[in-house]
Structure 1
């Protein structure tokens, strides 16, 4: 079968018409990591009958999730909204998630793999198809993977037209992860496991490999740091000039709004904007971790703001106290 790319083998798995949208599913085999079995699913959404492609946007799901957090089987979601607004939307699924098959070393999949190998391959393929850098949107772990790729230098600032982070932070989680004996007990419980099951914990539709779980234990521990040995990814962000929007939910107990703002402030040299979704800021509810993407009021209150940000790299003046823009 002929590859859909000159960069590395890419197969067009399916091409379907979903109502007013075109859905093309690609499977990338970049062969750029130690585990050569890795294949990545990338779904493109476009408006059927459009004369030309719009501005590319890459959406990355969070932990225990897949592309359906952006685009439901019924054709709804922020991904579909942006496609109908004329953007060229690409939904990436991490190793072993959604339509991406499990690789041989699935248990060891970690943030460094996503940042150094997978996201650069996705960026290169989308740029090849669209002829320009894409805007990146990431929810929770998906947003952190882009931050990590920028922090370690695997993604250059020129490959990211803008970055939108939904519920992303690297400072705070449950207090128990700050107590070394409890962390030791948790690591002992995880020993020998391949994954953390989402079903038993009611965390989402997908499992997470042990490597990602161990990453989180390190980041949120008592002396945690977002990075790997010899690298502080958060500190490396200070000189980047990529436009960044941080979206936080006032009711988010997983990634609190204050911690999301702390991560945004790491982009010291970048044009930045902060959006807190809560009643105190004039929204209909205090949005939670998942609700900021798929809540009852999100299509009316949140999605148009994201569309405006992607078009103008700023938030509407009508948002008022809900936003803060930094120099």
Structure 2
């Protein structure tokens, strides 16, 4: 079968019409990581009546224990279809071993650093080949952490990035017991006896997570831990990232609190940074939760339009700021918005 890409083997595994939308599902085999068995599923959504014209690309990355259905339900409801109907070229990425991406041979040992160093750059290259316009990247929870790591580690080319939106993503919440070395060592020893963490069993979501992710998180939150891999400090590298960034937090999110989400955004060096907190105090109908910020009737009415508004305005505003080198740095970060 002929590859859909000149970069590496890519198979178009399905091409369907879903009502007013077209759905193409690709399977990439980039062969750029130590595990050559890795294959990545990438779903593209577009308007069925505009297949000859590609809009601005938007890439959506699910969080932990999740897959493409977080953004795109079987009934074609979600932020993905919403943006596709607005004319954007929407791509939904599933990391190795999630959703339509098969489990690789070393699935147990998969880490965020694998997603950051190998998977996301391959996905970015393929999308650029299909649609060579700057991309708007969006990630929820772990998906946003993956994006931040790829940018902080300089694994994504900033010239190809139009903007970044982080939903409920943070790396600054402190787990004090893990700062005690014997506790961290004991936790690591216990986790190594497992191969996966079951999302369905723990009622966290439809997908499992490899134990490698949990072990990596222990290292980040340990006494001398940092957000990065063995080669690069991703946190420090975010200072050099100049792409527009918006962080969305929720007042009712006890897993990834608003202050920590804001701290991640403020680490970016971008002249255009916006922080949006979803809560009654900010004028929203409720204090949204970690999932409800994107998957709920209220999100459909109150949050999705704000995201689409950001996608439309961010490149233009960034271009204007770039022409004002003497601007007041304090104006770079907006106040909480309703």
- The question of 1:76 aligning with 2:86 is answered no
Which residue number in structure 2 is paired with residue 220 of structure 1? 221
Which residue number in structure 1 is paired with residue 337 of structure 2? 323
Which residue number in structure 1 is paired with residue 68 of structure 2? 67
In 1, the alpha carbon distance for the partners of 2:197 and 2:285 equals 34
Of 22-31 and 145-154, more deviation after overlay is shown by 145-154
Shift of 1:184: 3.0
Which residue number in structure 2 is paired with residue 7 of structure 1? 7
Q: SS of 2:82's equivalent?
A: helix
CA contact (8 A) 2:191 2:215 kept: no
CA contact (8 A) 1:120 1:155 kept: yes
Equivalent positions of 1:189-228 (< 5 A) are: 189-228=190-229
Distance 1:223 1:284, change over 3 A: farther
In 1, the alpha carbon distance for the partners of 2:25 and 2:301 equals 28
Shift of 1:323: 2.3
In 1, the alpha carbon distance for the partners of 2:279 and 2:184 equals 33
In 1, the alpha carbon distance for the partners of 2:242 and 2:189 equals 42
CA contact (8 A) 1:173 1:254 kept: no
In 1, the alpha carbon distance for the partners of 2:280 and 2:180 equals 34
Shift of 1:126: 0.5
Count of aligned positions: 319
CA contact (8 A) 1:250 1:288 kept: yes
Which residue number in structure 2 is paired with residue 262 of structure 1? 263
CA contact (8 A) 1:250 1:276 kept: yes
Which residue number in structure 2 is paired with residue 107 of structure 1? 108
- Kindly report the root-mean-square deviation, in angstroms, between the aligned alpha carbons of the 2 structures: 1.6
Of 216-225 and 107-116, more deviation after overlay is shown by 216-225
In 1, the alpha carbon distance for the partners of 2:234 and 2:305 equals 31
CA contact (8 A) 1:243 1:270 kept: yes
Shift of 1:72: 0.6
Structure 1 unaligned blocks of 5 or more: 315-319
In 1, the alpha carbon distance for the partners of 2:205 and 2:186 equals 24
CA contact (8 A) 1:282 1:322 kept: no
Shift of 1:211: 1.2
Shift of 1:178: 4.0
* TM-score scaled by length of structure 1: 0.94
CA contact (8 A) 1:281 1:321 kept: no
CA contact (8 A) 1:53 1:88 kept: yes
In 2, the alpha carbon distance for the partners of 1:181 and 1:296 equals 45
Q: SS of 2:27's equivalent?
A: strand
In 2, the alpha carbon distance for the partners of 1:19 and 1:99 equals 21
Which residue number in structure 1 is paired with residue 310 of structure 2? 309
Q: SS of 1:4's equivalent?
A: coil
Distance 1:69 1:7, change over 3 A: same
Of 98-107 and 153-162, more deviation after overlay is shown by 153-162
- The question of 1:31 aligning with 2:31 is answered yes
Cα displacement string for residues 102-124 of structure 1 (whole angstroms, at most 9, x for unaligned residues) = 00010111111111111111001
Q: SS of 1:136's equivalent?
A: strand
In 1, the alpha carbon distance for the partners of 2:200 and 2:178 equals 22
In 2, the alpha carbon distance for the partners of 1:221 and 1:300 equals 40
In 2, the alpha carbon distance for the partners of 1:64 and 1:220 equals 20
Shift of 1:295: 2.2
Equivalent positions of 1:170-189 (< 5 A) are: 170-172=171-173, 174-189=175-190
Shift of 1:174: 4.8
Which residue number in structure 2 is paired with residue 317 of structure 1? none
In 2, the alpha carbon distance for the partners of 1:140 and 1:91 equals 15
Shift of 1:203: 1.2
Q: SS of 1:164's equivalent?
A: strand
In 2, the alpha carbon distance for the partners of 1:19 and 1:269 equals 39
Shift of 1:173: 5.2
CA contact (8 A) 1:240 1:270 kept: no
Q: SS of 1:323's equivalent?
A: coil
Which residue number in structure 2 is paired with residue 42 of structure 1? 42
In 1, the alpha carbon distance for the partners of 2:174 and 2:93 equals 26
In 2, the alpha carbon distance for the partners of 1:59 and 1:267 equals 20
